[in-house]
Structure 1
Amino acid sequence: MSLKEKIEIIPRKKLVDKRGWFLKAIDGKEKNLPDYTGEIYLTSAVKGEVRGNHYHEEATEWFTLIHGKATLFLEDINTKEKMKIEMDSEKPFTVVIPPYVAHAFVNFDEEPFILLAYTDRLYDPKDTIKYKVYENGE
């Protein structure tokens, strides 16, 4: 088998809106993945925009900011405890968000941010429950 036959190129769809963009790097449907996998995706946000404002009943997510700065707002749905985390790609770390923790990433910076994410489940719209953990000005 030639190298050209061994390599697979998978087209991806970049979704763009006023907030920035969203791109799935791994959607769980690729060949040769382990029996169980989730999704890997990247998303961006421009100044003043919010990503998230939801929680999951099933999915756990891992987030690493790979470009820019973001403020992550969190709220435990059960206890109502709130938390804020400042993220900067120059000082990278990964945040693991379990089920029932609402999350919103906000860009207050001039430069867009890019966020790398892994979720342990394939996307299910029924598991993405809208929740305003952050509203403009709060």
Structure 2
Amino acid sequence: MNVPVLPWQKHVRDDGWLAELVSMKYKYTPFTGIHSYVVSVSPGRSRANHYPEKKEEWIALAAGTAALHLVDIKTGVRESRVLDTRSEDLDWFIFPLSLRTR
């Protein structure tokens, strides 16, 4: 069988890892103007304290539970949400440009 295995770059840090799935830098992806990542976060760790400046970020969990602690940088309003893959539905969370994770 001629099934290719595609080598993708994985960026490893002490809090987990990140790999860019869809990007214009890879010749195998049929999309343009879209960036898609898969991220692994180590238990008890955080990949936080940033906000998207140029694009929305969409988050859905593949496994486990994640607590999202959010701050609207324009109003200072804080909110927390929990995503859990054991829920009946697969919840997606969309970060608008002004929402920061903490």
Tell me whether the two structures share a fold, i.e. TM-score over 0.5: yes
Shift of 1:10: 3.6
Counterparts of 1:1-138 in structure 2, within 5 Å, are 4=2, 9-31=5-27, 33-34=30-31, 36-91=32-87, 92-103=90-101, 133=102
**Once the two structures are aligned, what percentage of the paired residues are identical?**
27
Distance 2:97 2:67 in 1: 20
Give the letter aligned to residue 10 of structure 2: K
Q: Which moved more, 1:72-81 or 1:22-31?
A: 22-31
Distance 1:14 1:29 in 2: 14
Shift of 1:21: 1.4
Q: Secondary structure at the match of 2:47?
A: strand
Shift of 1:61: 0.8
Q: Whose RCO is larger (CA < 8 A, sep 6+)?
A: 1
Structure 1 or 2: more helix by fraction: 1
Let me know the Cα RMSD of the aligned residues. 2.0
Structure 2: stretches of 5+ with no match in the other structure: none
Distance 2:23 2:6 in 1: 11
Shift of 1:100: 1.4
Shift of 1:9: 5.0
Give the letter aligned to residue 33 of structure 1: P
Distance 1:18 1:68 in 2: 19
